[in-house]
Amino acid sequence: MEIAKKEGGQSVLLTFHPHPRSVVNESNSLSLLNTLEEKLELLEEVGLDHVIVMPFTKSFSRMSALEYVRDLLVNTIKVHCLVVGYDHHFGRNREGDIKVLKEYAELFDFRLEEIPAQTIDEVKISSTKIRTALRQGDVEKASEYLGYAYYFSGTVVHGDALGRTLGFPTANILPDDEEKLIPGQAVYAVQVEGPDWRSAGMTNIGLRPTIGGLNESPRIEVNMFDRNEDLYGKVLKVHFIQKLREEMKFPSTKELTEQLGKDRDEAKAILGHSIN
Protein backbone atom coordinates (compact mmCIF):
# COMPACT_ATOMS: atom_id res chain seq x y z
CA MET A 1 0.00 0.00 0.00
CA GLU A 2 2.89 2.37 0.80
CA ILE A 3 4.53 1.55 -2.55
CA ALA A 4 1.26 2.02 -4.46
CA LYS A 5 0.64 5.40 -2.82
CA LYS A 6 4.21 6.54 -3.45
CA GLU A 7 4.10 5.59 -7.14
CA GLY A 8 0.53 6.61 -7.88
CA GLY A 9 -0.63 3.03 -8.39
CA GLN A 10 -3.22 0.75 -6.84
CA SER A 11 -2.67 -1.91 -4.20
CA VAL A 12 -3.82 -5.36 -5.32
CA LEU A 13 -3.63 -8.54 -3.25
CA LEU A 14 -3.82 -11.90 -4.99
CA THR A 15 -5.10 -14.85 -2.99
CA PHE A 16 -6.51 -18.28 -3.80
CA HIS A 17 -9.65 -20.22 -2.95
CA PRO A 18 -10.03 -23.01 -2.05
CA HIS A 19 -6.78 -23.53 -0.19
CA PRO A 20 -4.21 -24.95 -2.66
CA ARG A 21 -3.44 -27.92 -0.39
CA SER A 22 -7.05 -29.07 -0.54
CA VAL A 23 -6.77 -29.26 -4.34
CA VAL A 24 -3.25 -30.61 -4.75
CA ASN A 25 -3.58 -33.10 -1.91
CA GLU A 26 -7.25 -33.99 -1.53
CA SER A 27 -6.66 -36.30 1.46
CA ASN A 28 -4.91 -33.58 3.45
CA SER A 29 -7.28 -32.26 6.12
CA LEU A 30 -6.98 -28.52 6.60
CA SER A 31 -6.95 -26.37 9.71
CA LEU A 32 -7.55 -22.86 8.44
CA LEU A 33 -6.58 -19.80 10.45
CA ASN A 34 -9.02 -17.77 8.35
CA THR A 35 -12.03 -18.59 6.27
CA LEU A 36 -12.28 -16.68 2.99
CA GLU A 37 -14.91 -14.37 4.50
CA GLU A 38 -12.68 -13.60 7.50
CA LYS A 39 -9.69 -13.01 5.25
CA LEU A 40 -11.64 -10.49 3.16
CA GLU A 41 -12.90 -8.71 6.30
CA LEU A 42 -9.36 -8.35 7.66
CA LEU A 43 -7.99 -7.14 4.33
CA GLU A 44 -10.79 -4.58 3.99
CA GLU A 45 -9.90 -3.21 7.43
CA VAL A 46 -6.31 -2.74 6.24
CA GLY A 47 -7.49 -0.51 3.39
CA LEU A 48 -6.34 -2.34 0.26
CA ASP A 49 -7.66 -1.02 -3.05
CA HIS A 50 -8.38 -4.44 -4.58
CA VAL A 51 -8.40 -8.14 -3.65
CA ILE A 52 -8.38 -10.81 -6.36
CA VAL A 53 -9.66 -14.22 -5.26
CA MET A 54 -8.27 -16.64 -7.85
CA PRO A 55 -10.12 -19.97 -8.12
CA PHE A 56 -7.51 -22.65 -7.42
CA THR A 57 -8.15 -25.68 -9.60
CA LYS A 58 -6.22 -28.76 -10.74
CA SER A 59 -5.49 -27.13 -14.09
CA PHE A 60 -4.33 -23.92 -12.43
CA SER A 61 -1.98 -25.91 -10.19
CA ARG A 62 -0.27 -27.29 -13.31
CA MET A 63 0.77 -23.85 -14.58
CA SER A 64 4.53 -23.50 -14.82
CA ALA A 65 6.28 -20.74 -12.91
CA LEU A 66 6.84 -18.89 -16.19
CA GLU A 67 3.18 -19.15 -17.23
CA TYR A 68 2.05 -17.96 -13.82
CA VAL A 69 4.23 -14.84 -13.91
CA ARG A 70 3.84 -14.02 -17.62
CA ASP A 71 0.14 -14.80 -18.13
CA LEU A 72 -1.37 -13.91 -14.76
CA LEU A 73 0.87 -11.39 -13.01
CA VAL A 74 2.20 -9.49 -16.02
CA ASN A 75 -0.38 -9.77 -18.82
CA THR A 76 -3.56 -9.94 -16.70
CA ILE A 77 -2.88 -8.04 -13.46
CA LYS A 78 -0.32 -5.70 -15.06
CA VAL A 79 2.04 -5.91 -12.09
CA HIS A 80 4.35 -2.93 -11.60
CA CYS A 81 5.88 -3.97 -8.27
CA LEU A 82 5.48 -7.46 -6.84
CA VAL A 83 5.66 -7.87 -3.05
CA VAL A 84 6.16 -11.44 -1.77
CA GLY A 85 7.41 -13.26 1.30
CA TYR A 86 10.97 -14.53 1.49
CA ASP A 87 9.83 -18.19 1.39
CA HIS A 88 7.25 -17.79 -1.39
CA HIS A 89 6.92 -20.69 -3.86
CA PHE A 90 4.69 -20.83 -6.94
CA GLY A 91 4.06 -22.70 -10.15
CA ARG A 92 3.80 -26.41 -10.89
CA ASN A 93 5.43 -28.51 -8.13
CA ARG A 94 6.39 -25.24 -6.36
CA GLU A 95 9.20 -24.83 -8.89
CA GLY A 96 9.31 -21.03 -8.60
CA ASP A 97 10.93 -19.20 -5.69
CA ILE A 98 12.38 -15.78 -4.89
CA LYS A 99 15.48 -16.49 -7.00
CA VAL A 100 13.34 -17.32 -10.05
CA LEU A 101 11.21 -14.22 -9.43
CA LYS A 102 14.28 -12.00 -9.54
CA GLU A 103 15.06 -13.36 -13.02
CA TYR A 104 11.47 -12.83 -14.21
CA ALA A 105 11.36 -9.33 -12.73
CA GLU A 106 14.26 -8.36 -14.94
CA LEU A 107 12.81 -10.19 -17.95
CA PHE A 108 9.32 -8.66 -17.70
CA ASP A 109 10.40 -5.29 -16.29
CA PHE A 110 8.70 -5.14 -12.90
CA ARG A 111 10.09 -4.40 -9.45
CA LEU A 112 10.37 -7.05 -6.76
CA GLU A 113 10.07 -6.37 -3.04
CA GLU A 114 10.90 -9.24 -0.69
CA ILE A 115 9.24 -9.38 2.73
CA PRO A 116 11.80 -10.76 5.22
CA ALA A 117 10.88 -13.22 7.95
CA GLN A 118 8.72 -11.51 10.59
CA THR A 119 9.99 -12.18 14.11
CA ILE A 120 8.83 -11.66 17.67
CA ASP A 121 11.41 -12.25 20.41
CA GLU A 122 13.73 -13.69 17.73
CA VAL A 123 11.15 -16.32 16.75
CA LYS A 124 10.12 -16.47 13.10
CA ILE A 125 6.36 -16.19 12.81
CA SER A 126 4.71 -18.86 10.67
CA SER A 127 1.25 -20.32 10.22
CA THR A 128 2.58 -23.61 11.62
CA LYS A 129 3.67 -21.93 14.87
CA ILE A 130 0.31 -20.18 15.14
CA ARG A 131 -1.59 -23.43 14.63
CA THR A 132 0.57 -25.19 17.22
CA ALA A 133 -0.06 -22.44 19.77
CA LEU A 134 -3.82 -22.61 19.19
CA ARG A 135 -3.94 -26.40 19.51
CA GLN A 136 -2.09 -26.07 22.82
CA GLY A 137 -4.56 -23.46 24.00
CA ASP A 138 -1.95 -20.70 24.00
CA VAL A 139 -4.29 -18.16 22.43
CA GLU A 140 -2.24 -15.23 23.75
CA LYS A 141 0.83 -16.30 21.79
CA ALA A 142 -1.27 -17.00 18.69
CA SER A 143 -2.88 -13.57 18.91
CA GLU A 144 0.52 -11.91 19.39
CA TYR A 145 1.77 -13.59 16.21
CA LEU A 146 -1.41 -12.72 14.27
CA GLY A 147 -1.68 -9.14 15.45
CA TYR A 148 -5.30 -9.58 16.60
CA ALA A 149 -7.29 -11.80 18.95
CA TYR A 150 -7.96 -15.12 17.21
CA TYR A 151 -11.64 -15.74 16.58
CA PHE A 152 -14.16 -17.97 14.86
CA SER A 153 -17.79 -17.53 13.81
CA GLY A 154 -20.56 -20.00 14.52
CA THR A 155 -24.29 -20.47 14.87
CA VAL A 156 -26.01 -20.94 18.23
CA VAL A 157 -27.64 -24.38 18.35
CA HIS A 158 -29.73 -26.19 20.95
CA GLY A 159 -27.90 -27.94 23.80
CA ASP A 160 -29.13 -29.75 26.89
CA ALA A 161 -29.53 -26.54 28.98
CA LEU A 162 -27.33 -27.99 31.75
CA GLY A 163 -25.43 -24.73 32.16
CA ARG A 164 -28.65 -22.93 33.04
CA THR A 165 -29.38 -25.41 35.85
CA LEU A 166 -25.89 -24.74 37.24
CA GLY A 167 -26.42 -20.98 37.14
CA PHE A 168 -24.16 -20.47 34.12
CA PRO A 169 -26.39 -20.41 31.02
CA THR A 170 -24.40 -21.08 27.87
CA ALA A 171 -24.81 -20.75 24.14
CA ASN A 172 -23.74 -23.88 22.27
CA ILE A 173 -21.96 -22.79 19.12
CA LEU A 174 -21.46 -24.78 15.92
CA PRO A 175 -18.58 -23.35 13.83
CA ASP A 176 -19.66 -22.10 10.41
CA ASP A 177 -16.67 -23.72 8.65
CA GLU A 178 -15.56 -27.21 9.62
CA GLU A 179 -12.05 -26.48 8.33
CA LYS A 180 -11.58 -23.52 10.70
CA LEU A 181 -9.09 -24.32 13.45
CA ILE A 182 -10.66 -24.29 16.92
CA PRO A 183 -8.32 -23.84 19.93
CA GLY A 184 -7.52 -26.84 22.12
CA GLN A 185 -9.86 -28.17 24.79
CA ALA A 186 -9.76 -25.77 27.74
CA VAL A 187 -11.60 -22.89 29.41
CA TYR A 188 -10.97 -19.40 28.00
CA ALA A 189 -11.76 -15.76 28.71
CA VAL A 190 -13.43 -14.44 25.54
CA GLN A 191 -15.14 -11.49 23.92
CA VAL A 192 -18.34 -12.43 22.11
CA GLU A 193 -19.60 -10.37 19.19
CA GLY A 194 -23.25 -10.49 18.18
CA PRO A 195 -25.13 -8.75 15.36
CA ASP A 196 -24.97 -5.35 17.08
CA TRP A 197 -23.39 -5.95 20.47
CA ARG A 198 -20.30 -7.27 22.29
CA SER A 199 -20.15 -9.14 25.57
CA ALA A 200 -17.41 -10.39 27.87
CA GLY A 201 -17.62 -14.07 28.65
CA MET A 202 -15.93 -17.42 29.10
CA THR A 203 -15.88 -20.43 26.83
CA ASN A 204 -15.46 -24.12 27.52
CA ILE A 205 -14.23 -26.26 24.65
CA GLY A 206 -14.29 -29.94 25.48
CA LEU A 207 -16.04 -33.11 26.52
CA ARG A 208 -17.60 -32.02 29.82
CA PRO A 209 -16.16 -34.98 31.79
CA THR A 210 -17.92 -34.10 35.06
CA ILE A 211 -21.36 -34.69 33.57
CA GLY A 212 -20.49 -37.77 31.52
CA GLY A 213 -19.94 -36.15 28.15
CA LEU A 214 -16.84 -38.20 27.30
CA ASN A 215 -18.63 -40.22 24.63
CA GLU A 216 -19.72 -37.19 22.62
CA SER A 217 -17.90 -34.81 20.28
CA PRO A 218 -16.22 -31.76 21.84
CA ARG A 219 -18.62 -28.90 22.43
CA ILE A 220 -18.10 -25.16 22.37
CA GLU A 221 -20.14 -23.56 25.14
CA VAL A 222 -20.06 -19.81 25.79
CA ASN A 223 -21.26 -18.16 28.98
CA MET A 224 -21.80 -14.42 28.38
CA PHE A 225 -21.74 -12.00 31.28
CA ASP A 226 -23.94 -9.33 29.69
CA ARG A 227 -26.51 -11.32 27.70
CA ASN A 228 -29.17 -13.83 28.67
CA GLU A 229 -31.67 -13.76 25.80
CA ASP A 230 -32.67 -16.41 23.28
CA LEU A 231 -29.86 -16.56 20.74
CA TYR A 232 -30.78 -19.74 18.88
CA GLY A 233 -29.98 -19.44 15.19
CA LYS A 234 -27.90 -16.30 15.68
CA VAL A 235 -24.35 -16.10 14.34
CA LEU A 236 -21.74 -15.08 16.93
CA LYS A 237 -18.02 -14.37 16.78
CA VAL A 238 -15.93 -15.65 19.66
CA HIS A 239 -12.63 -13.78 20.19
CA PHE A 240 -10.17 -15.71 22.37
CA ILE A 241 -8.34 -13.49 24.90
CA GLN A 242 -6.67 -15.81 27.42
CA LYS A 243 -6.70 -19.42 28.57
CA LEU A 244 -8.02 -19.81 32.11
CA ARG A 245 -7.35 -23.50 32.75
CA GLU A 246 -7.44 -26.98 31.31
CA GLU A 247 -10.73 -28.84 31.17
CA MET A 248 -10.96 -31.17 34.16
CA LYS A 249 -13.29 -33.64 35.87
CA PHE A 250 -14.74 -32.65 39.24
CA PRO A 251 -16.07 -35.00 41.96
CA SER A 252 -19.55 -33.49 41.65
CA THR A 253 -21.52 -30.73 39.98
CA LYS A 254 -21.18 -28.74 43.25
CA GLU A 255 -17.40 -28.54 42.84
CA LEU A 256 -17.86 -27.81 39.14
CA THR A 257 -20.19 -24.90 39.94
CA GLU A 258 -17.72 -23.50 42.49
CA GLN A 259 -14.91 -23.65 39.92
CA LEU A 260 -17.09 -21.98 37.29
CA GLY A 261 -17.62 -19.11 39.72
CA LYS A 262 -13.85 -18.75 40.10
CA ASP A 263 -13.42 -18.95 36.31
CA ARG A 264 -15.98 -16.20 35.84
CA ASP A 265 -14.28 -13.91 38.36
CA GLU A 266 -10.88 -14.50 36.74
CA ALA A 267 -12.28 -13.90 33.26
CA LYS A 268 -13.96 -10.68 34.37
CA ALA A 269 -10.68 -9.47 35.87
CA ILE A 270 -8.80 -10.28 32.65
CA LEU A 271 -11.41 -8.61 30.46
CA GLY A 272 -11.76 -5.53 32.67
CA HIS A 273 -15.38 -6.38 33.42
CA SER A 274 -17.00 -5.22 36.66
CA ILE A 275 -17.40 -8.17 39.04
CA ASN A 276 -20.79 -8.37 40.74
Choice between 143 and 167, residue whose per-residue pLDDT is larger: 143
Segment 8-37 mean pLDDT: 87
| pLDDT tens, position by position, 231-267 | 999 999 999 999 999 998 888 889 999 999 999 999 9
276, pLDDT greater than 80: no
The ranges assigned to domains in the chain are 2-116, 149-271
CATH 2.40.30.30 for domain 149-271: yes
- Looking at every residue in the chain, the average pLDDT score rounds to 91
Closest C-alpha among 120, 239, 145, 125 to residue 190: 239
CATH topology of domain 2-116: Rossmann fold (3.40.50)
pTM over 0.75: yes
Q: What is the pLDDT of residues 185-242, one digit of tens each?
A: 999 999 999 989 999 999 999 987 766 666 567 899 999 998 888 899 999 999 999 9
Determine the pLDDT at residue 275: 46
123-124 and 119-120 beta bridge pairing: antiparallel
pLDDT at 218: 85
**In terms of pLDDT, which residue wins out, 158 or 192?**
192
Q: Which helix (H) or strand (E) holds 83?
A: strand 81-85
Helix axes 139-146, 127-135, angle to 10 degrees: 160
| 2-116 and 149-271 share one fold | no
